[in-house]
Amino acid sequence: MSEELAEMSCKMCVGATETMPVAQQQEMLAKIPNWEIVDNHHLQRRYKFKNFKQALAFVNQVGEVAETEKHHPDIYFTWGKVTIQIMTHSVDGLTEADFVLAAKLNRIS
């Protein structure tokens, strides 16, 4: 199921004014292993790496995917740890594009 999402493209939320309903968020969450929904507001995943260099390389890969998709997560990066938070800023919550991006990031983790 994650692969189906990963094959999609993040669609701009032009004109979108509402976030995804909570029930649909839960259905979509089942398709993206290792992610969690925080406060029905954003997706989050924490990663651990052996060292700074591996964490930095991962952050750079995330940046490449985000640029390609034109959908940019919040990235928190420290020695051996990376936390990714994804939401659609224009609606201050979750949309389908957030789940698509999470599925794409699962491919590189």
Q: List phi, psi (to 5°) of 43.
A: -90, 150
Q: Which residues of 75-95 are buried (b: 16+ CB within 10 A; e: fewer)?
A: eebeeeebebebbbeeeebbb
The whole-model pTM stands at: 0.88
The verdict on residue 89 lying in a domain is yes
Q: Is the distance from CB of 54 to CB of 97 less than 8 angstroms? A: no
What is the DSSP secondary structure assignment for residue 93, as one 8-state letter? B
pLDDT attached to residue 103: 96
pLDDT at 7 over 80: no
The CATH number assigned to the domain holding 30 equals 3.30.1360.20
How many domains is the chain partitioned into structurally? 1
What is the per-residue pLDDT across 34-90, written as a single tens digit (0 to 9) for each? 999 999 999 999 999 999 999 999 999 999 999 999 999 999 999 999 999 999 988
Does 94 fall in a domain?
A: yes
Domain region containing 63:
2-7+20-108
pLDDT of residue 1 exceeding 60: no
pLDDT of residue 96: 92
Tell me whether residue 54 is in a domain: yes
